[in-house]
Chains A and B, each alone.
Chain A
Amino acid sequence: MDQTTVKKSRYGMAIDLDRCTGCGACLIACAVENNVSPGQPKVNERNGTTWMRVFEVQDGRPFPDAQTAFIPMMCQQCEVETPCVSVCPQNAVEVDPETGIVGQIPQRCLGCRYCMTACPYHARYYNWWDPKWPDGMEKALNPDVAPRMRGVVEKCNFCHGRLHEARARAAAQGSRQINPSDYIPACVEACPVQAIAFGDLNDESTDVALLARSERAFRFLARLGTETKVYYLSGRDWVRRLADRELARSKKETLHG
């Protein structure tokens, strides 16, 4: 390929729910990488900032047959009619046409929270407090990522700091095309069981593209038609039925006759 043109990518993820143990390493890695502040004493699970949440779900069967699954949930990177993009009044949310990544521009954000209302995955977080770190901890902040101020919305952007770094590395080598091994989000890197695969969905040779096409792959709320780029994998039927309410209901009806 000509080094002056950039191949269009569609970065996506595939998360294997049958591997995920719910350890939370991805959450911690994400917060450290992206300078997500630990929050104030009054923070609770509803007003704290975390770019990822891990849901614990059970199949409802009694012990010892009970099964549990852990579902990491972050911005699903909607590709079509991206709900948060069209609602933002001042273009603070954009889809990068070169990467397909839905980005948030905190410097432009009004803090109206309309995008949070629009997101079906509740994957957007508002800074209810000023970002503060315990004394000394600010020295460990990632210099590649600007902390966000109070009053703006933030969310997962597939670690854009790492993408910029990969681009800078490619540029230093005279290329505009990044090396795929240079760009891996923090959560993918941190997962001890390698439950998360990341890469370009347009490149059919990548693990993520292969996994997204596998029979175990599904997407949450796919019928909303937003064509998310985060895929989930499970061989367990009851987990796959959690994809939407209609499916979950059909499961209930089967169980209860």
Chain B
Amino acid sequence: MDKLLITRGVQRSPFWKFILWILPWAMLLAWGLYGAYLCLAEGLNQTNMDNRFAFGLWIYLDLTVIAFGAGAFFTGFLLYILKRHELKSVINSAVVLGLICYSGAIVVLMVDVGQPLRAWFTFWHPNVHSMLTEVTFCLTLYLTVLILEYAPIVMKNRQIRKVPSYLVFEFNLHKLMVVFAGVGAFLSFFHQGSLGGLYGVLRGRPFAFREDLGIWPSTFFLFVLSAMAAGPSFVLLTTWLVEKLSKKRLVKRETMSYLGKLSGVMLIIYILFKSVDTLIWINSTSPSSGFPAFEYYDRAAFGTWVLFAEVVLFGLLPALVLLRKKLRERMVWLIPSAVFVLAGVALNRFVLTIQTLALPTLVFDEFLSYMPSWQEVATFSMVIAYGVLLYSLSFRYLHLFPQERELTQPY
């Protein structure tokens, strides 16, 4: 039965090996489900969040995975709208990654809010001025788009496509892919931006507050740019990992290099804007609120090294490597650079979520630390496990890499 589901012309590991691979992830998923159940049944007192650290591990990781998942919309936009056909070989994988990241983030958000059954209130009487409203609308709509983009990949499965009506449906969905890619790019632009805007509008948190550019704070645009840098790197890194684990070459090296170039170009633009934004914030925005900016870097482990790491080590450095054709064509440079890009974006989300909350605003208040509880870690591990399982199943039974058949030689 298992063999009948696997795409013709591709090699997959024996079924028992596959079961051995998914078993630990399934156990992790079960542990995570238990942690999430405790949080839902007993309340968020199961977490180590508190009135000062009202956001914690979950929001930080949500922001990070959503940035990583940007590969789906960016790749789709470049392929279907700008006709960059070299990305055709990774688009299916990018869609699966996007689906995992977004659906996982929404699941965690449902555990994170105190009254998940009231989530529909945001649609019923939304506050149109809230960045979180924009995020909620765009995330849910974009998840629908991702499901519609994932559906044709599922329907191309060897057995499912035997049903004629599914095949017709898949064909029609595929014809609409340009529309989905356009809608996806539009929605993603807004929610990636709104996630940045979440912090940029916090007038009461001068560490995060930024000046407006038009109707949005500058962090709106910085989040869009950084997500567009992280997305291709995440697709690249995942593809490389899957190649290593499956011991197969799945995409041509030129595609990998092109993904690296995309990351490099977006990253250098992001770093340029971020540097200008940081200088304006240090010299104008923050002091005008009564907060000397250097004080932010005078507390606990949050020294200026954080800013240096974000802008130079995980920003400028990988950008310069990825922009050089000779370097990015060598995996030994390409892969670590992609890791650095992702580390930089993850650090940016960490700083905006955790450092913002750790810093006191009142002079006589104290700097606070926070360590997530096991229930918080478990709940997030559940999403990681779910992601690995969904990707593993998709890789085994769906045709994620169209170039795989022609690149059959052992890797």
Q: Which residues of A contact B (CB under 8 A)?
A: 40, 42, 44, 46-48, 55, 57, 71, 73, 81, 83, 86-91, 108-114, 116-122, 124-130, 150-153, 220-226, 242-249
Show 19 A/B contacts (Cβ-Cβ < 8 Å), sorted by A: A48-B51, A71-B364, A81-B203, A83-B203, A88-B127, A89-B133, A111-B113, A111-B114, A112-B132, A117-B54, A118-B203, A120-B361, A121-B361, A122-B51, A122-B361, A153-B114, A220-B362, A223-B288, A243-B363
In angstroms, Cα B41 to Cα A129, docked, is 11
Chain A residues within an 8 Å CB radius of B364: 55, 57, 71, 242
Which one, A121, A151, A246, A249, contacts B44 given CB within 8 A? Answer: A151
Within B103-160, the residues touching A (CB, 8 Å) are 112-115, 118-119, 121-122, 124-127, 129-133, 136
How many whole Å from A112's CB to the nearest CB in chain B? 5
Interface residue ranges, B against A (CB under 8 Å): 43-45, 49-55, 112-115, 118-119, 121-122, 124-127, 129-133, 136, 198, 201-206, 287-292, 295, 356-357, 361-365, 368
Flag if B130 contacts A224 (CB, 8 Å): no
Chain B residues with Cβ under 8 A from A47's Cβ?
A: 45, 50-51
B204 lies within 8 A of A126 (CB): no
Q: Is the CB of B127 within 8 A of A90?
A: yes
- Chain B residues with Cβ below 8 Å from A88 are 127, 130, 132
List the A side residues contacting B290 at CB < 8 Å: 221-224, 243-247
| CB contact between A42 and one of B45, B136, B206 (< 8 Å): that residue | B45
Contacts of B368 in A (CB 8 A): 46
Q: Indicate if the CB atoms of B126 and A223 lie closer than 8 Å.
A: no
A87 pairs with B130, CB closer than 8 A: yes
Q: Are the C-beta atoms of B115 and A89 separated by less than 8 Å?
A: no
Identity of the chain A residue whose Cβ is nearest the Cβ of B356 in the assembled complex: A117
User: Shortest CB–CB separation between residue B357 and chain A, in angstroms?
Assistant: 7
Interface of A is mostly: loop
B357 contacts A86, C-beta separation under 8 Å: no
Nearest Cβ distance between residue A51 and chain B, in whole angstroms? 11
A86 touches B130 (CB 8 A): yes
- When C-beta atoms are compared, the residue in chain B nearest to A127 turns out to be B114
5 shortest A-B CB distances, which residue pairs?
A111-B114, A151-B114, A120-B204, A244-B290, A223-B290
A248 vs B55: C-alpha distance in the bound complex, in angstroms? Answer: 28
The answer on a CB contact under 8 Å between A118 and B204 is yes
A117 and B121 within 8 A (CB): no
- CB-based contact B43/A90 at 8 Å: no
In the complex the two chains form, is A224's CB within 8 Å of B115's CB? no
Question: Interface centre among B133, B136, B357, B361, by most A CB within 10 Å?
Answer: B361
Chain A residues positioned under 8 Å from B356 (CB to CB): 117
Q: Are A130 and B43 in contact (CB under 8 A)?
A: yes
Q: Which residue of B lies closest to A114 (CB)?
A: B132
User: Which residues on the A side are within 8 Å of B289 (C-beta)?
Assistant: 221, 223-225
Q: Which residues of A contact B205 (CB under 8 A)?
A: 117-118, 120
- Nearest to A91 among chain B residues (CB) is B127
Cβ-defined contact, B136 with A128, below 8 A: no
Contact of B203 among A48, A122, A124, A224 (CB under 8 A): A224
